[in-house]
Amino acid sequence: MDTLAEELRKKHSVEVAVIGMDLSRAGAGTELKADLDARGIAIEILVNNAGFGIYGGFLDQSLEKTTEMMRLNMMAVTELTHVFGRGMAERRGGHILLVASLLGYQAVPGYAAYAATKAYVLLLGEALHRELAPHGVSVTTLCPGPSATSFGDIAGQRSSLLLKIMTMKPRAVAKAGLLAMLRPKASRVPGFFNSTMVLLDRLMPRWMQRMILGKVMAG
């Protein structure tokens, strides 16, 4: 993603403003919007990529950490989409890219709360894709599978052969998301194996989904 941003910077004159902020804090999105308004910066593209996951048994995880994850993955995404989406609708133009997850398509033992937060993002994004289109605002939800980042290590998840096969490079994931946003599509699952898994999910009973995903994610 950093390499892609660097290439865009070289091709276009881009002014960068770095603002450090804890987005899991209530009202942070509104505060960020006010800060940018004061600087005279209007956001035309919003990439809602902030979030993290926790792997392990639901009861073994810290309740404080779980609720912090829920605030960042859902509440912050909702607030940012609302405050910046309103400005885009008033200007009759803008793009919003929400980053969900392949896990948002099913219940996932070991990632119970995380997968649920990403299901929320997926459904929110697909609904807003239709709802905001008449206002000139496109909303796209990107649902990546395993990516070659530090996400799994930070979450505390062990890898497996299938996860390694499905793993994509961050650049490919970012490119798929940006292209889907500009077309614009309601949602995008990058990668052949990932999109095939979503298709198979529609054909499998839900108990089988839970069993398979639980074994895959257990490493």
What distances in angstroms separate CA 173 from CA 76, 83, 135, 149, 190, one per listed residue? 22, 26, 28, 11, 6
Please identify which of the residues 105, 111, 114, 120 carries the catalytic annotation. Answer: 114
Indicate the DSSP class of residue 137: E
Q: What is the DSSP string of 35-66?
A: HHHHTTPPPSEEEE-------S-GGGS-HHHH
Name residue 73's amino acid.
N
Query: How big is the chain, counted in residues?
Result: 219
CA atoms of 189 and 100, how far apart (whole Å):
10
Residue 47 dihedral angles phi and psi, to the nearest 5°? -105, 105
- Is 114 designated active site? yes
Q: What are the angstrom distances between the C-alpha of 182 and each of 11, 137, 185? A: 18, 11, 8
DSSP E strand stretches across 115-216: 137-142, 187-188
The residues annotated as belonging to the active site are 114
